[in-house]
Amino acid sequence: MIRSMTGFASVERQYEFGRLAWELRSVNHRYLEIGLRLPEEFRVLEPDIRRTLGEYLSRGKVDAALRFSAAPGATRSSLALNHDLLKTLLELHAEVGRTSGSEEAADPMALLRWPGVIEERAPDPQPLQAAAMELLGDAATSLQSARGREGEEMAAAIRERLDTIESWVARVREWLPDIRDGLREKMLARIADLQQPLDPGRLEQEVAFLAQKIDVDEELDRMNAHVKEARLVLERDDPVGRRLDFLMQEFNRESNTLSSKSVDNRTTQAAVELKVAIEQMREQVQNIE
């Protein structure tokens, strides 16, 4: 399936701890390049996020942004007594009292100020992080689908240009015998204007030389072969952008050769039309994954 490298996806979901929202944007790029914008508490997930996106996408410049709006009180830290430490302090206080002969009660506020007696316990980040990764999978699936829909349109446009190329190649094939005959007639007309007769053998040599010079059968055969290969590539399931880009270079090479060998207005026009169709395909291919 042909996929574009351009796409957008946005998903959000409400949880008991707040609302999470992913926004993914992608444009064409030679390789896969991922830019992340994450709240601080999600920075630890960066390697997992990159790995997950890499499972869905192979090329493109991707900007991934995560937004988190906490529910009131959901992310608030809680305070708790360190009972073991408090018990130890009370035992030490009693022992000091017995040793000194003083039976003063322990000051609760003084005990609370002792380092470690009051512990601040942050909420467990695991559920929050797991939810963010699950939602990322949904966003990446949505982005992949969007790129696939645009890719189908691009594939249809490329197939249309391939039909155009095939049509022009067929026309040139039909014209070639007439072009060769016309070239021979022009040469005979010029020779007739000469004051001295030309050896018939030499005439045939010159005609054969010119015919070979303008022969484009191989170029037309290769052009048809490239059309066939491009159609096969469009049916593949794996990313084919680089393969198609290489074929565009081959198409250009054959059309340039056809243009350089042209001795007739019809083949010159055909070469121009071929270049236009190839360039239109190349613009599409530049954005294919």
The residue type at 199: D
Task: Say yes or no to pLDDT of 182 above 80.
Answer: no
**Tens-place pLDDT, residues 98-154:** 777 777 777 888 777 778 777 766 667 788 899 999 999 999 999 999 999 999 999
Predicted pLDDT at 47? 95
Three-state DSSP class for 70? strand
The residue-averaged pLDDT of 59-88 equals: 80
Average pLDDT over residues 214-221: 81
Closest CA to 40 of 103, 106, 122: 122
- Under DSSP, the state recorded for 237 is S
Per-residue pLDDT tens for 199-216? Answer: 656 556 665 556 566 678
Instruction: Tell me the average pLDDT of the chain.
Output: 85
Distance CA 288, CA 160 (A): 16
Indicate whether 74 pLDDT > 60: no
Count of alpha carbons within 13 angstroms of residue 173, beta-carbon side: 14
| Integer Cα distance of 181 and 198 in angstroms | 19
Q: What per-residue string of b and e applies to 178-193 under the rule 16 or more CB within 10 Å gives b?
A: ebbeebbeeeeeeeee
Q: Where in the chain is the domain with CATH 3.30.230?
A: 7-73+124-147
Question: What is the DSSP track for 238-252?
Answer: S--HHHHHHHHHHHH
For the domain with range 7-73+124-147, which CATH number is right: 1.10.1740, 3.30.230, 2.30.30, 1.10.150?
Answer: 3.30.230
